[in-house]
Structure 1
């Protein structure tokens, strides 16, 4: 009996060891590109040693040049405007539509749910040509508000689906109690329902903000004026100068600064994201 117990314990420890090894390997794979990016951002232009080695001399001038450059702040401003507009439209309209669907029954409501699920299955690239043509015809190209509307519209089906799953779990008796107290539908939603959706709302805000900030495809087609460039377009332009060979460290520093806001946002709100994911899995 003692030998069998020892073998069981040894097998479990070996299994855990493999888990740790795989976890460490995955962490290295994920962190390697970030390490190379940061490593390159502190190099001199003349430093051509392996990108895996630390730089010969830490060069902070790359960050100073990128930080005080006009293009970076144009990208910050435009991306911030797009994020605020996209998140506001996506959260408010998506939550209200989900509330209506969650509290409705019958064939029409069921048909809308199925249609919403079907739209979620359509990849955005499949609609690229038609979407671009429509945006041009409506004079919505080269406009930040047009891109915000497009981004929010593309993410609404997923937002409605997630919110609806959460709202269904909220008892209808709360709506009835609010109605007895004289609250209308809109007041009931914002005063009673929405406060109970804090975790999923913060999670959706993070995902929507990150998606809008890192969006590359549609800005590339719709925003041709340099004054309307988003931060991703500014980063792309920095790497495109002479195929990225003129000042690659400066381009890497621009990339690090451009991605820093969403990383900070995620670190501050990650507990709500984890809670939202846990709540979502339990629905």
Structure 2
């Protein structure tokens, strides 16, 4: 009887810990969402209400209509989408080369590439700025995309290569016998089979580009080229007391991330599970 109760107590403790962790991470988000629907009169109400008694969408209308906010949102969309496209294209090609081809210095180059993952991003700000200056991409969206892609290539290459090496080489050889070239094998065989890994890498790349602040605020000076993280920081400074409007702007910034994760959730989970089992 005692032994049968122990597993149930252990499971109960685990579920309690999971519920506590879920509440700890979701309550701040729901408070932000709730505050975004509150008029300024009810924002600092004590005790705070998780569900506003007089919800309003005026904060969203005011936030979206504020100076340049729609342009900042569009800039973030363009930069993030271009970053994902560049990272997935270049990263998958590099992963394919490291997984399927033999060339001089292959192992040292791959190890050096992986070693860059251990370098803190803040240490690269000054060197990156000097390179961007020499390339004449300061104060441009191109400068953001180029360095976002470069910064995420190592992780994407590592992730996708680990997936490609598990694909049987016999499939490659069968296509080569039929007359297909290496690029056709890559495009028609490797990429379709790597969809879970590509989806996982794409989500991480999108999040990295969408939320990045330090590099963007370092090289972007023109107001019309700012991205959402810069806009939110400036928006909070301009409307420090209008917390409903500030949180409404933050919710707008979070929505694309939520949509991307929901749309690619299955591929993301499959990619993570495959990496855990095959790594």
User: TM-score range with shorter-chain normalisation?
Assistant: over 0.9
Residue of structure 1 aligned with 2:125, choices 124, 128, 145: 128
Residue of structure 2 aligned with 1:271, choices 253, 261, 266: 266
Q: Structure 2 unaligned segments of length 5 or more: list them.
A: none
Q: Secondary structure at 2:92's aligned position in 1?
A: helix
Q: Deviations over 1:220-249 (max 9, x none)?
A: 11112110111222221211115x12x111
Residue in 2 that maps onto 1:186: 183
Matched, 1:198 2:192: no
Residue of structure 2 aligned with 1:8, choices 3, 18, 30: 3
Matched, 1:18 2:13: yes
Residue in 1 that maps onto 2:167: 170
How far the C-alpha of 1:211 sits from its partner, in A, is 1.5
Q: Secondary structure at 1:46's aligned position in 2?
A: helix
Residue in 1 that maps onto 2:23: 28
Residue in 2 that maps onto 1:3: none
- Contact 1:98–1:167 (8 Å) recurs in 2: yes
Q: TM-score, normalised by structure 2?
A: 0.93
- Contact 1:117–1:157 (8 Å) recurs in 2: yes
4+ residue runs over 4 A deviation: none
- Contact 1:203–1:272 (8 Å) recurs in 2: yes
Residue in 2 that maps onto 1:156: 153
Question: Mapping of 1:17-166 within 5 angstroms?
Answer: 17-47=12-42, 48-50=44-46, 52-54=48-50, 55-105=52-102, 108-166=105-163
Q: Deviations over 1:121-149 (max 9, x none)?
A: 11211111111222123221111011101
How far the C-alpha of 1:172 sits from its partner, in A, is 1.8
CA distance in 2, matches of 1:235, 1:85: 21
- Contact 1:83–1:213 (8 Å) recurs in 2: yes
- Contact 2:75–2:227 (8 Å) recurs in 1: yes
Q: Deviations over 1:180-208 (max 9, x none)?
A: 22222111100111111011111111111
Matched, 1:225 2:205: no
Q: Structure 1 unaligned segments of length 5 or more: list them.
A: 1-5
Count of equivalent residues: 276
Q: TM-score, normalised by structure 1?
A: 0.92
CA distance in 1, matches of 2:46, 2:233: 23
User: In angstroms, what is the RMSD of aligned CA positions?
Assistant: 1.6
- Contact 1:36–1:52 (8 Å) recurs in 2: no
CA distance in 2, matches of 1:169, 1:231: 39
Residue in 2 that maps onto 1:260: 255
How far the C-alpha of 1:173 sits from its partner, in A, is 2.0
- Contact 1:40–1:51 (8 Å) recurs in 2: no
